[in-house]
Every structure is written in structure tokens, then in C-alpha cells.
Structure 1
């Protein structure tokens, strides 16, 4: 179409624009974006594509453990994700988004971050998928203002109309609230339909126990939970200026994970001490004392 990219017309947010011909006659401008340039351990990799005899396909790496939403639903006879595992999944997804925002040149905004777009591999490593709505923009370039609303209801930034990384941060905050609560993002049968409103409503009533996913059965460090909850609500702040960037989100999640791991380490030490005490008592009772 472009005669091997012979004539460049210019360069925009999507990449270089080339002069070409459609069906050998109609002149067109072709914008070229190389998806293969997006490569990160926490992004689903594009392996290749197929364009043969009308068959069009994009080929991605296989993710054997489906998606985050699948595991949170509890409907597929699968084990409950531990709190520490959920934190690692959130951290993986945050690292992927940070790469899109500051690791890519030009930067990219995903625009459809949600729990069904966070896929899990065999080791439950999380990778962000579905770049169908993604857009590129140059840092400091005001041309990335957009009037087209893109994304999924419930995850959409209240400050619509602007293509910016803070929209992804808002959506990520909603995902983090899902991880914490295992509640639907929008549920008309709740006191407050949207998950952010519901969490704020429950917090104001002091009913903390209702917020966390009951399937966790309280098996988590309260400090890490509070940090994660505060972080999630900060990401989902209606004002984009009050939201953290993804680098700050990553720092916060690492603190949560450190707190959780420290609690588990102390718990294991206590269990080991208790086990040792039982063994000593057992030995003393079974073997008679010397006379």
C-alpha cells in the first residue's frame, strides 16, 4: 500500500504517516503504529499476525489462568486468591501501566483498564491485555485532548474528554477496589450503586468488616489492607489532579506487600515456636523421667 513506506507525510501520536494507494488507485494517508515496540513482562505480548485470503488475526501469547475477574468471581470452582497474591497481581498490573505511561516513546494510554483485561499466566503473573482502545501521545503535547469517550462503564474517568494517563490511574483504582472487596463495580441493588460510592458509604458508617472480601476470612494484615484501601480511593478520586501517578501507586503497593509479608513471617515464627513447645511437651510426657 505504501510501496515499502516510500513517502512519509508526517508524524503524529499514532506514529509516522505515509502516503499510499488503496486498491492501487485511491490515494490514502496511512498511519503506522508498531505494536511490537510495546514489550514488557507485565503486558501481553503480540506474537504476530495473520492476513491471508481475508483471514485477519492478531496472535498473542497464551495466558493459561484466564483473567482476574474470573478468579474473583468464585463461580468456577477455583481456590480463593490470597491477599498477598492479590497484591502481587495488582503490583504486576501497575508495573505494566507504568511502562505504557513513561517507558514507551511516545507514551501510551490504555483507556480500558479493568479486571477482565488483567490476564494471569501459569504462575499467576499478571499481564495487561486488550490494547484495542489504546492511544499514543507525545509528552507535553496538548493534541492528546480527545472528545471521544472510550472504555467500560464503571471504570470510566469522571473527567472525560481528555486522553491522559490519569484516566488509566482512575480505572486502576476501581480494579484495586474490586480486589479488596470482590464487589461488582456497578450494582443497582446496593445502597450505593458505584463501588467508590459504596466503599465511602460503608467507611462513613464505620462498618469496616463489610468492605473486605468475606472469602478471605480475615486472613490479611490490617495495615496492608488500610494502605491498599487508601491507595485505591486516592486513584479513584474524581479530581485527576489529586490522583497519584503509576510510579507512586507502585511504591504504595510495595509497602502493602512488605507489610503483609512481614505479618506472615511473624505468624510463621509464632507457629514454629508453638510447634516446638508442643514437641517438647510431647517428648516429656511420653518418655519417663530417669530414676
Structure 2
């Protein structure tokens, strides 16, 4: 490389700070709660050198990107520091709090990276704090240094009842510091204790993971020393600096539990020689006990599998280790946070009817609010669902790794006892069918909005079929599985029936045919063959439904006396396509666009799968005003939803076909 090598030495530090003491609703437009900032060298407000600014921009971009893929902390460097350079090196450091990974971390890091230059303009060093993160950068190497000044604190308005309670709280926090720095070397720890028979208290300690255990302990003890001066009379409090934080409160404010799974990683940090001797002695005894227990569990599990009924029923509980294998499957590499059941119960008011959003084929969906105010949709797998475990694993495996603006985002999961729960982003405008098939609500769906929804669904399917790492077939695309966000953007949901194809694989066959009445392609319903063209067929039905504002299933009950697809085909052949259009669109529509979408819909529902376009072609056709479209052939007849399984897996040997239709009743979510 010519000239001097530009370099940016980068670590990253973002750690999920304190959850707000005042609960609030976080909408899509809201950023993480801003806590404070330290814009160092405030008297020196001058333009940064172009080289430094370039490297700073590169650093902030890397922090934001890396947070989406790492396990909450990482380090990296761009180039090398060489003597006699031009003072353009920038050092940064991020580290998410130990109980949160994935989306929650990445969302805050991205926000902090975007806003730090606005809050601290023209600064060579800055620290900015949010409820979910701290972002720090400097022109000097600060890695490994303990920074306890400046510090911040926040308190609850309610006071403690006695000095005894104060002392118990401080002793509890000292115990957490010991666990974080001596017993586990995690550099963070969270736990709770019973203050009385009716009251519990919770605490968390956290350090920047570039520190040693001794450095972490030094920082945490410095924060705890400030508590008597600022906070001990308060029921809840938090004290923090750039290198660490401590937090204490009367509610369970931490979201996800991952400290147990991080213990092995943390042990690699090591400890002093005397401590190692003690740990090894205890570990040997523990390992022997664990080995005996593991052998017993292996024997018991193997025996249980042999004893499984002839009906192939899955046991009510799911083995945690087997679920971990699903998470780390090489082709998917899922790293999804888990959320405690107690947090879900609190967020949904113990799965109350008031928080229920709807009922799907594999269980109910509830609206919840996390301790930080973020709204979520909680999908609770029904324990009575015979096929639920497989669909649950499917949904975890696929959607956790699928990232697209037209796919619903999976935030976390929960596997405790008999519960199997998925936690999604909350979408306030419910599902497409909630609006489209309601005579009053569909008036809000003008033509521009319906066309936007048609385009968005097409782009989401294109990503699944061609742009994601695996070719994913959804197999249950329908109006109730299209959710709408605050701005009415469509997001494909419900991947319980999805299947992945390896590279070069184009179709597959199954004897377990599942889909939804009116949306299933004929080759799938009759022969069990499915491919990307199966989804294309479902998409075509959906396009026609969006245009006419009526369901394909049950359309024959109208005055037309036939299915929607067949009716659309007949009026197309008669040159009267616009008769299909929903009358409420007359004032807002552009006729040529409506005609084109009907044309594309009919191309997608052709009986022969080979005649249907791919989704990449559909996206191009939707975007082009001049593209010449081929004439469609006659569509297939609508086919209902069914399951075809062998007698050994049926509930009755006489019942070789089971009606598996899903009835969905959705409220806003």
C-alpha cells in the first residue's frame, strides 16, 4: 500500500446499563433511553483531522456491524499502530451486559454509534450512555485501564424501611461482586434474594470485559463505596462509570439469562495460583458427581426413548441439551437469547385473557411488556399440540437467522419445564386479514398501500428463496401470516412449517402435507411435492385477495358461485379484469397498476408449477412499467388443507387423513 498505513485500533465496549426506573412504551420510532455523556476535552471544540474523522467513522461503523454478530463483546483492529504515525489512530470498546445478546445489544450499539457524534461533536474522546449501552472511543489506548471518574447514579423515589434492610442489600451486592470477580471470573453477575417471606430484591454487577478480575473488583468496590453517600436510603439505585456498574432494585429488571452458559468462557480468564488449587480440588469432586449423574441421565433418556408409545408422541418436556444442538446446528449457527419464564409471566400478566392477541394452530399469542417498556408478542406453544415440538424447533432455527425488513423479527425464546415460548417484536397493526377482510377497516387500505404490501411480501419471499444462506420454503403463506408494523409495512411470520433446501436442491416430497385451505398449490396438496413454486402459488392467491378484498376460501359462496382464482381467470379472458377490484379502490387506484397485479397474480397461480415465475421475476415485473408479461394459463382449482400420514402416526388406524385446518382469530399485536 502506498504512503503511510492508516489504521484504526478498535475494541468495542457497549454495556447494557440500567433499565429505566419509569416504565414506558418503546415504539419502533423510539431510540434506547439516553442516560448521559462525557464529552471529554469540552473546551477544545475544533474540527477533527480528516484522517482521524475517517478512522472514527470506520470504527463506529464496525462497532454497529459487529454487535449484530458477536456474543455481546468483541475486539478487532483495522491496520497496525506504527511508530511515527500521524496521530489518527482511534480506540473503541464495546461490551453488552451479560444477560442480553443479539437484537437488544445491536439495536443500542447502532443507536449509540449513530448519535455519539451529534451529542459530542468534534471530540477526540467521548463516552455516551443509554439504558442498554455505553459507547466509548478515544485517541489514546485505554484498554485494561480502570475508569471510575466521572460516575453517574440514579435512584428510586421510594425509601427503604430500616437500616437492617440497607445492610442486607449492601452485603448482597458485595456477594455479587465476589461471584463476578472471584468465583466465576465472568466480570458480571446477577441474582436475587429473599429480603423477607413476601419481599425479594435483585442486583446486578457488570464490568467492561477488557479488565482483569482484580481491575473489575477495584471498579465495583469504588461504585459500592459511593452508595452510602447517594443512594442507600432508596429502595432501588444504580451507580455506574465507564468501566463498571452496580444496580439494585425490588423487581427483576434483567431480561435474559446467559451467565450460566458463559461460565466456561469466563473460566479461560484464569485466576491466581492459590485460587486455582482450591477450584481444581472442588471441581474434581464436582466432576465425579456430575459424571455419575450424566451416565444415569443418558441411561434414563435412552430407556425413555425405547418406551415411547407406538403413536410416536413426543414427551411433554424438551431436553435442554437437544435443544442446544438445534441452536448450534452448523448450517444455521443460531445464537438466540433465552428469556426467563418469570419475566414472560410478569409481562403477560400470567398469560391473562386481556393480553391475548389471538389463537393459532399451535397455540395462543399474547402481548407483553418487558421491564424496560419494550412491547413484545409472546407465542406460547400449546402442550396439547402433537406436532408442536417440531414446529417450535423449525421456527427457532429459521427465523432466528433470517434478517430482512419484510420478515418478522424473533427476539428470544424460553424453554422452562413444559413451556416452549417464542418472543417476537410486537407489531401494532395486527395481521393483513384483520384489515383486508373487514368491510370497515379495509377502507383504510387504499391502492398505494395495497401495492406497497404486495411489493413487500414479494421482497420477503425473494429473500427466503434466493438471498438467504439457505433456500427456505415457507409453505404456509396466507393473509393471517402477514403482520403489519406501525407504518403498515408487511412482515412474513409463522415459520412453523418452513423447510430449507440445500444448494442445488429444487424440490422435495413429503407424506405429511400441511398448508391452508385456498393457498396450497395442487402438486403439493395432491402429491406432497413442494418447492419455491409452492410459495409462488400462495403468493398469487394472496395478490388476488389483496386486490379484491375477499378471501379465496369461501369466495364460491358469493354471487359468483366459484373460487376467486377461477373467477379472476374468467373475467381476465373476457377482458373485464377490473371487475375483480375492490370497489373501495375506485378513487385511489391506477388502473394500469391494478391490471398488471392481476396479471402477475394469475401467472403465479397457474396449474403447472413450471409455468409460474420465480419471485425474482415477480419483483422485476412489479417494478417495471414496460416489461411485456406472458399470457397466463388456466389456474389450478383451490385445494383444502389436509394431513396425509401413515396409520402408525395417526390417532386411529382407521383415520388415514386428518383435517388439520388452522383457525386464526387475531387482534392487534
TM-score by length of 2: 0.34
Partner of 2:580: 211
| DSSP 3-state at the match of 2:529 | coil
Matching residue of 1:129: 493
Distance change (3 Å), C-alpha of 1:214 and 1:138: same
Name the larger-Rg structure: 2
Q: Distance in 2 between matches of 1:60 and 1:27?
A: 33
Shift of 1:157: 0.4
Task: State the number of aligned residues.
Answer: 238
Deviation at 1:60, TM superposition (A): 0.9
Residue 230 in 1 paired to residue 599 in 2? Answer: yes
The alpha carbon displacement at 1:102 in A equals 1.1
Which residue in the other structure is 1:43 paired with? 407
Corresponding residue SS for 2:406: coil
1:170 aligns with 2:537: yes
What RMSD, in angstroms, separates the aligned Cα atoms of the two structures?
2.5
Matches within 5 A, 1:83-122: 83-122=447-486
Higher relative contact order (CA 8 A, sep 6+): 1
Alpha-carbon distance, 1:227 to partner: 1.0
Which of the residues 585, 589, 592 maps onto 1:220? 589
The 3 A distance-change label for structure 1 pair 22 and 119 is farther
What are the within-5 Å matches in structure 2 for residues 26-105 of structure 1?
26=303, 32=326, 34-35=397-398, 36-75=400-439, 77=441, 79-105=443-469
Which residue pairs with 2:552 in the alignment?
185
- What is the distance in 1 between the residues matched to 2:557 and 2:592? 30
SS of alignment partner, residue 163 of structure 1: strand
Give me the whole-angstrom Cα distance separating, in 1, the residues matched to 2:548 and 2:620: 21
For the 8 Å contact 2:577–2:598, the answer to whether it is kept is: no
Q: Which moved more, 1:235-244 or 1:209-218?
A: 209-218
Cα deviation for residue 203 of structure 1 reads 2.8
Aligned partner of 1:278 in structure 2 is none
Cα distance in 2 for partners of 1:138, 1:166 equals 16
Q: Are 1:159 and 2:523 an aligned pair?
A: yes
Tell me the SS of whatever aligns to 1:188: helix
Maintained 8 Å contact 1:119/1:129: yes
- Counterparts of 1:240 and 1:103, CA distance in 2: 21
Give the whole-Å Cα distance in 1 for the aligned partners of 2:506 and 2:544: 31
Secondary structure, counterpart of 2:487 in structure 1: coil
Aligned to 1:261: none
The answer on whether the counterparts of 2:523 and 2:530 sit within 8 Å (CA) in structure 1 is no
Partner Cα distance (2:581, 2:442) in 1? 19
The farther-off stretch of 161-170 and 208-217 is: 208-217
After superposition, the Cα gap between the structure-2 partners of 1:164 and 1:77, relative to the gap in structure 1 and judged at 3 Å, is closer
Residues 448 and 588 in structure 2, CA contact (< 8 A), matched pair in contact too:
no
Q: Quote the offset at 1:109 in angstroms.
A: 0.1
Where does residue 148 of structure 1 map in the other structure?
A: 512
State the match for 1:194 in structure 2.
Answer: 563
Q: TM-score, normalised by structure 1?
A: 0.74
| Whole-angstrom CA distance in 2 between matches of 1:138 and 1:154 | 28
- Inter-partner Cα distance in structure 2 for 1:205 and 1:212: 15
Distance 1:173 1:51 in 2: 37
Moved over 3 A (4+): 20-31, 75-79, 204-209
Give the Cα–Cα distance (whole angstroms) in 1 for the partners of residues 492 and 299 of structure 2: 34
Task: Report the 3-state secondary structure (helix = DSSP H, G, I; strand = E; otherwise coil) of the residue aligned with 1:183.
Answer: coil
| Superposition pairs of residues 242-253 of structure 1, within 5 angstroms | 242-253=611-622
1:252 and 1:141 map into 2 onto residues whose CA distance is 25
CA distance in 2, matches of 1:144, 1:77: 39
CA contact (8 A) 1:113 1:172 kept: yes
Question: Residue 100 and residue 194 in structure 1: after superposition, are their counterparts in 2 closer, same or farther (change >3 A)?
Answer: same
Contact 1:98 1:247 in 2 (8 A): yes
Q: Contact (CA 8 Å) 1:66, 1:119: kept in 2 or not? A: yes
Whole-Å separation in 2 of the counterparts to 1:77 and 1:222: 22
Question: What pairs with 1:233-272 in structure 2 (closer than 5 Å)?
Answer: 233-255=602-624
SS of the residue 1:57 aligns to: strand
Q: How far 1:253 moved relative to its partner?
A: 1.8
SS in 2 for 1:131: coil
Q: Give 1 or 2: higher helix fraction.
A: 1
The question of whether the paired residues in 2 share the 8 Å contact of 1:181 and 1:211 is answered with yes
How far does residue 107 in structure 1 lie from its aligned partner after superposition?
A: 1.1
Deviation at 1:233, TM superposition (A): 0.3
